[in-house]
Amino acid sequence: MYISHYESPIGWMTMASDGERLTGLWFDQQKYFGSTLNGTCVSRDDLQIFQTTKEWLNIYFTGKCPPFTPPLHMTGSEFRKEVWEILQSIPFGQTMSYGEIAKLMAHRKGMKTMSAQAVGGALGHNPISLIIPCHRVIGTNGQLTGYDGGLDKKQWLLLNERVPTFKHL
């Protein structure tokens, strides 16, 4: 496992990689920080995956939608991976509610309903912040809820994307 660091406008971030794909991207001190790290990690700023991810982050933090996605390797249960796949379909500058994602998941699984709390649990364990955009998920009434990096960061990120419909802190 390899790691590198990135100084964003809202705090330091740590990236993790298997050498070819991004396996983690966290705000330092966020809940579940380093969840995909196991064993010894080597700091390697020169890896191409970290250069590509830093380029993505540089574009993102200027308020623009990056035109590419770094290669990702997501580890987690099938349920979590399906939720994270839905997150990746939320366009830059838009949001979805936990309930909307739960309805999509229920439909995919052939169920009548699914718990929005189960969706929230999958979001909370997202190991690749921003690129898998759990910050774009809000409460049904537009409330900012549940962001492991902190609600102040979630608000900043949504304002950076010029999201028009959410209730500010």
Catalytic annotation, residues: 134
User: How many CA within 13 A on the CB side of residue 109?
Assistant: 15
**Sheet of 11-17, strands arranged across:** 22-27, 11-17, 2-8, 42-43
10 Å CB burial of residue 23 (0-12, 13-18, 19+) is: buried
Residue count of the chain, please give it.
169
* Per-residue CA distances from 25 to 56, 103, 161 (Å): 12, 27, 19
Farthest-apart Cα atoms in the chain, separation: 48
How many Å apart are CA 150 and CA 127, to the nearest integer? 15
Distance between CA atoms of 61 and 77, rounded to whole angstroms?
Answer: 30
Contact 16, 36 (CB under 8 A): yes
